[in-house]
Structure 1
Amino acid sequence: MPAHPLALPILSLPGWGGSGPGHWQSRWEALHGDQRVEQADWRQPLRGDWMMRLEETLLSRSREELPVLLVAHSLGCHLVAAWASHSRNTGRVAGAFLVAPPDLERDPLPPQLHSWRPVQRLRLPFPALLVASSNDEVYCALPQALALAEDWGAEVREAGALGHVNADSGLGDWPQGRAWLNAWAARLPASR
């Protein structure tokens, strides 16, 4: 099965702590061949380091491996926004599928996440779809997720009551999420 109807490569961007084996991102990597952008430190996520790693990954790809789709979960969504606001290589990205971004403006914020403030709210320079849960109160209530989507210029897919849309949500392979990704990606421009 192709990784994607458009045959675009997918870079997987987990959030704080990474995505364990039961997480839908890890399962998609195994099922569809999505490539994880590995960070040097998943527990002490420094925004600048994470941005540099994404930049290096994109610059290391051949023309045949571009453009890519970014599939981000949680803090990975903020990585996309922060990277896109600084990089001159955003043309290497066809679009971003952003799932369950956390509210990094809430207090108290865990000290490991302070380098992620201020939150980058510029409009993304490529199409994006933000998937938000209706009951992710611990990490990001729906109104805050919708505000991020508006600032980033992302379409919104309200996913229902899926918590933080992670392994604890019991999604398994999350076929519904992959179907949303495929349907959205099929509408992207053929080339950028």
Structure 2
Amino acid sequence: MTLTAPTSSDYEAEANRLRAQIGATVEDLRFSLRPANLASEAATRAGIADLSWGGAFDFAGKRHPVPTAIIGLGIALWTLAALRRRKADGLATFTPPLRETSASLVESATRVLRDRAELKRREFVNAAQAQITTGAARFSDEVERRLENVIDRVPGGPEVRPLIEAAIQIALSAALEGLFLKRTAG
């Protein structure tokens, strides 16, 4: 049984496959991090995805009666305080507390969405780093194996092996440095 070593086209195909996989992961993350999808996911996990407002309050009252009662009491006190401060135009006093409350809710939701996006970003970066590390290790192993095959064919025996290895390492370092300089300059 003959084992054939992977060729550069095999590595290129593997790199293209990994690029496609990373692209698909990015698209999945973009879709998952849309506010509508996050809200839908939260509602589904809470078990209230298909409930109306009345159904949601009924569900909350049955499942969590004490917190629901505290929230109801807070809304009632807020309304009572707004009514007491009412001036001649009536609804004008409702807008500042309502504006403050909605700003607080928006700020909390924004913070939660940012935290979730940061978590997803970290997951993506960790997955990409794992893929890159695996690919780099495979590439390094293959280069080392092929270089050993070339060095073994050079006449001169074991005495010249360290000299040949050092020369090849210097040449590879110079080539990589040239590639990095081209990328930073371009």
Give TM-score, length-normalised by structure 2. Answer: 0.24
Give TM-score, length-normalised by structure 1. Answer: 0.24
Greater percentage in helix? 2
Which has the greater radius of gyration?
A: 2
Greater percentage in strand? 1
